[in-house]
Amino acid sequence: MAPPTPTIPTSKTLVVGPPTLLTRRLMASNSNGDMAKKISISPICSSFSSYGDPCHDLFFQVTRPETCSDEETTQQQQQQQNQASLNYLKTLLPVAWSHNPLTTLKLIFNLHAIRSSSGKCYPEGFYTAVFWLHQKHPKTLLCNLPSIADSFGGLYVLIEILYRLLEQDQDAAERLHCDPDYQLLHDRAMDVFVERLKSDIDKMKQHKLDLKPSDYITDGDDDDDDEDDKDGTLDAAAYADLFVSEAAGCCVTKQPQDSHAARTIFLCESIARRLCPPKSDQPNQSYQSEEWERIRNEVLAPLNRYWKRQGMFIGRQC
């Protein structure tokens, strides 16, 4: 049984809300023990079989090519296999979108998902699909940027999307001024960064996040236990409030590849204009630059250190 089809018109300006993965439904639709059996050969590409439903094909057939250790398989052959998969994806996307746009959107995001057991963790496929989405349905991508940042990748993924789009046009400044769709996407991404930064800064002020996350979970024999937490252990809700995003790290990172992408899309300049608007009595740019440097050194740098310690505590690679 195929997933239910929502009543949503298909058009170039289709806007849908934040997605929830339908992987369980898709798996259930093939739970009769015959999942591996293909019902026909895909008319899109003879190299890929079809389940008879383009959304099922998008879920089951578009996967990250496995790295082969066979000496007979050359690097060039692996690149060709990867390119064939991406070409198939490009051809399949408009067919799947016409069939069921909401499910297709969810499956696009699932290509990058790594937090769920059914996530594909296929960045190249994800960015290929996102570029198609930006070209064909830019408002849909625009409205779902927060979902990408929160559930399907992270803030670094927003930087990578903007950066890869600019790789097609080396003049970033011109793209920002002359491409309205890219400008809207860039502005919305910067708004997402600022929203996360403001939330993280508030947490730092309220909870004094100068301690390691692990400092908040003790064996109960600490003499300085919080009055509201006599056993030294915070409840789940309170503990979740202590975690911050990677927004600060994106602004102060020292890794060359990350800083290059951030500089190319004018990340810090764009965030500075939003966090440090010039005062009426000091409209000059020097004030904004000085205030931004103060925020980077006194606020963002400590937040970044806390985020890295937080990552060590929960086992995330930072």
Per-residue pLDDT tens over the stretch 40-84: 334 455 567 787 899 999 999 888 877 666 655 677 777 888 888
Residue 106 sits in the same domain as residue 203: no
Residue 8 has pLDDT above 60, yes or no: no
Q: Lowest mean pLDDT of 7-21, 93-107, 188-202, 287-301, name the range.
A: 7-21
Residue 301 has pLDDT above 70, yes or no: yes
Question: What is the rounded distance in angstroms from the CA atom of residue 296 to the CA atom of residue 303?
Answer: 9
Residue 57 sits in the same domain as residue 130: yes
Q: What is the pTM of this model?
A: 0.73
Which range marks the domain in which residue 248 is found?
193-211+242-314
- 293 within a domain of the structure (yes/no): yes
Query: Domain ends where: 95, 114, 138?
Result: 138
Residue 205 sits in the same domain as residue 93: no
Residue 125 has pLDDT above 60, yes or no: yes
Q: What is the mean pLDDT of the chain?
A: 74
For residue 311, what pLDDT is reported?
A: 67
- 301 within a domain of the structure (yes/no): yes
Question: What is the rounded distance in angstroms from the CA atom of residue 127 to the CA atom of residue 268?
Answer: 23
- 292 within a domain of the structure (yes/no): yes
User: Coil, strand, or helix at residue 48?
Assistant: coil
- 87 within a domain of the structure (yes/no): yes
Residue 228 has pLDDT above 50, yes or no: no
Residue 134 sits in the same domain as residue 197: no
For residue 137, what pLDDT is reported?
A: 95
- 131 within a domain of the structure (yes/no): yes
- 229 within a domain of the structure (yes/no): no
For residue 82, what pLDDT is reported?
A: 85
Residue 11 has pLDDT above 80, yes or no: no
In the chain, the number of structural domains is 2
Residue 233 has pLDDT above 70, yes or no: no
Residue 122 sits in the same domain as residue 205: no
